[in-house]
Copies of this chain bind each other. A is one copy, B any other.
Amino acid sequence: MNIPVELDPSIDDQAARAAWLYYVGGLTQDQIAAEMGVSRQRAQRLVSRAVAAGLIHVRLNHHLASCQELETALRTRFHLVRCRVMPGLGPDRDPVRAIAPAAAAELERVLREPEALVIALGTGRAMRGMVEAVGSIEAPQHCLVSLIGNIAPDGSASYFDVIMRLAEKVHAPHYPMPVPVISDTAEENATFQSLGPIRKVRELARAANVTFVGVGQMSDDAPLLTDGFLKPAELREVQGAGAVGEVAGRIFDAEGRYLDLAINRRLGGMQAPPTRPDRPVIGIAAGPSKIPAIAAALRSGILNGLVTDEATARGVLAL
């Protein structure tokens, strides 16, 4: 007979319990305070801590008619195998917030497949948001592989760190790409790419059953620029060459054709695998400035799956 008694529950336990009572039980914070024997303020802090720590997940269980129509329109127009359009959150809010839960649901759907799959992942804010929104789920049968180098220009080894965080959550084997996202010289990059272990990772990624990637715009607010992978002069140069977007660091033009650029030879990681109906490559992206990039990637079939928000979906369809 081993009946556990509550001695010193961790702060997260307390927070989770408070949030549970608040959101699921519908108690007021006063009642929670009484129930848990703490002050009301502490109850309030516990609830907000649980929310901040992502212990609580809210999901919409209803397909808005307007979003469904957009999904259908995108699906048929671009021959998508997966498509999710979420309601927007208003013009001046981070659209990642809107699409992260849906992207996470999409990823969870894949993770729940019983047979072993290779899941390739890009990086970026949307990817990170997606992984953060993934719930606790065990998926040790799958294999997670990164498309993109994880060494940032400043030498730090964790550009968003999408693979690691996800692997930690689902306890799956994972293969980060331990090369610079972008090397200083083509030679340095070639050296990295020729290393045996890295070739292995590349082979694995090439055979990915499902791929999740962000989509970067190449306008003046390009993530490649913001994150320091391109210098302003380089950005202007590729803009001149017709660049409108980028997936896994590979830059393409308005028709979604990959461009043959000098910087390509310095790029680590690898291009997203080619799309096939049974090998979806799903873009997770939203925001007005990304519209041309998303449209281009869909047009040429770099992507055959998309999770986005309402406003972006409309924008893409209007192009």
Residues of A within 8 A of B (CB): 1-4, 6, 9-10, 12-13, 16-17, 19-21, 23-27, 31, 35, 50, 54-66, 69-70, 73, 86-87, 89-90, 93, 97-98, 101, 112, 114, 135-136, 314, 317-318
Contacts and interface: CB of A to CB of B under 8 A. Distances in A.
A89 B58 contact: no
Contacts of A114: 114
Contact of A90 (B2, B10, B25, B97): B25
Given A54-B61, A59-B135, A69-B4, A98 B24 contact: yes
B97 A24 contact: yes
Contacts of A60: 16, 19-20, 23-24, 55-57
Nearest to A89: B25
A85 to B, nearest CB: 10
B63 A136 contact: yes
Copies in the assembly, this chain: 2
Contacts of A101: 24
A24 to B, nearest CB: 6
A70 B16 contact: no
B25 A66 contact: no
6 contacts: A1-B318, A16-B64, A23-B58, A23-B60, A24-B89, A26-B97
B59 A314 contact: no
Contacts of A314: 3
Among A4, A55, A87, chain B packs the most CB atoms within 10 A around the CB of A4
Contacts of A93: 25, 27
A57 B70 CA distance: 23
B73 A62 contact: no
Contacts of A61: 54-57, 135-136
Given A56-B58, A58-B23, A4 B70 contact: yes
